Structure 1
């Protein structure tokens, strides 16, 4: 159905577009910092809302409030942790990696970058990151990828990210159709000059961590299963620690909120939706 818009609405939309265009042309992006220092800073006991030890192969989900931080730590050796998220107030809004890449003009997520929803709002800010080696392109494992990868193993007996996230969605009152593309943390995937995916294990090490600050109330799911490109022939993901840290209001000059004009627009959308 074709919707006719009034001249006033068209003019208002054009003015808003031209304002954003002007901001983009005038804005000089801030230089993003390097990797966060290790070890991860100690969290005061009073600031810990909850801490979860996620065993290899398993999943966990939680609800977080805006400005709370989720720290994911490789304190027992290497693992890849996949993450998905929905807006708690309206789960039809979900994490969107294609938009995250397209809007920020990069597949390289690290400290200072943000993760967008499919409605142009910011869901997470990456406030600390010690490795910068995360995969936004390939997604997680499935029963069939496990069966192909682990010689002599029945893929159905090895837990995988797809089935873990189906369980997360079901327990959160959602459907498998609601599952977005997953962000794989600590997945050192790179693309070579010929466009082929490469696995660069030297980019991740024990003790690496990522701090994700929630920019809205959310439902967040985690899966601790090997990445499809991980060359280890043995299915042996290590436990990871996920810590939910109490909310603190970000400073006015917060890096993630001010580094790029794209992030600024995303946070403007967040503020508009809250009105």
Structure 2
């Protein structure tokens, strides 16, 4: 089990990865950090980098969106990804596909076996209705943040706007559909130490929020932190697990590979 950290731990940022991902080779690690619960962040990262995401507390949620860093009109497409892979949830082997049929990222390792692509984002009206209002003016870093607002702030740093915000993947959360066609949120799905590896299959803009899942029934605003370590894994090999997972995954990875022939 990975050693868990809090955002306030006095750990050198160059060695934080040793607690979050001790099995990774030091010469391949790019950076490591802990994103506090309710916060948001973003990066522009190249193809062949893998992100290890580690839940720092029970009930963690990390909402993630992806955009092609070379051509921002291409972005993660939830309906196409789910239809192509005949699934309503993500786990190891699944590929996050773009609206142009390319692989943007692949789940290469996963301790949970279920991540939610359907539950969308917590917005400000729902946040206030459910948890009350804690503004920055009064509570500073203790303010309550909505996932939708956090992702809009992050993608805005790259010239993207409200119209560019796509449906996210809610990692560490589980939502199923009952016999009446209603969403059911599974409490206690993620535990501290649960993790996944997300390989980036093209140059991407990655934006994340650790705000609560919009269907989380817990009455108190207490989102868990998520640790993140980026490392150089290289692109998908010919015998890659995700490439062999489904024919549709192989096609999407091939389509991306064709853009990097040079």
Of residues 161, 164, 182, the one that matches 2:147 is 161
What is aligned with 1:70? 51
What is the rounded CA distance, in whole Å, between the counterparts of 2:102 and 2:64 in structure 1?
Answer: 17
> SS where residue 201 of structure 1 aligns?
coil
Aligned to 1:58: 39
User: CA contact under 8 A between 1:143 and 1:158: conserved in structure 2?
Assistant: no
**Aligned-partner Cα distance in 1 for 2:192–2:130:** 24
Change (3 A) 1:193 1:116: same
- In the TM superposition, structure 1's runs of 4+ consecutive aligned residues that sit over 4 Å from their partners are 38-41
**Worse-superposed segment, 94-103 or 186-195:** 186-195
1:202 to partner: Cα distance = 4.0
**Deviation digits for residues 214-253 of structure 1, max 9, x if unmatched?**
0001010010100111111110112211111113243321
Query: 2:198 corresponds to which residue?
Result: 212
Partner of 2:252: 266
Match of 2:212 in 1: 226
- Aligned residues: CA RMSD: 1.7
Residue 42 of structure 1 aligns with which residue?
23
| Distance in 2 of aligned mates of 1:47 and 1:77 | 29
- Total equivalences in the alignment: 236
Which protein is richer in helix relative to its size? Answer: 1
Which stretch shows the higher mean deviation, 125-134 or 246-255?
246-255
Max Rg structure: 1
Q: State the alpha-carbon separation in 2 of the partners of residues 141 and 250 from structure 1.
A: 33
**Structure 1 Cα separation of the partners of residues 214 and 160 of structure 2:** 25
TM-score in terms of structure 1 length: 0.81
Moved more, 247-256 or 111-120: 247-256
**Cα-to-partner distance string for 1:141-193 (whole Å, 9 max, x where unaligned):** 0001112222xx12765211111111111112222211111110111211111
CA contact (8 A) 2:58 2:188 kept: no
Q: Which runs of 5+ in 1 are unaligned?
A: 1-37
On the 8 A contact 1:115/1:124 being kept in 2, the answer is yes
Q: Secondary structure at the match of 2:209?
A: strand
On the 8 A contact 1:85/1:218 being kept in 2, the answer is yes
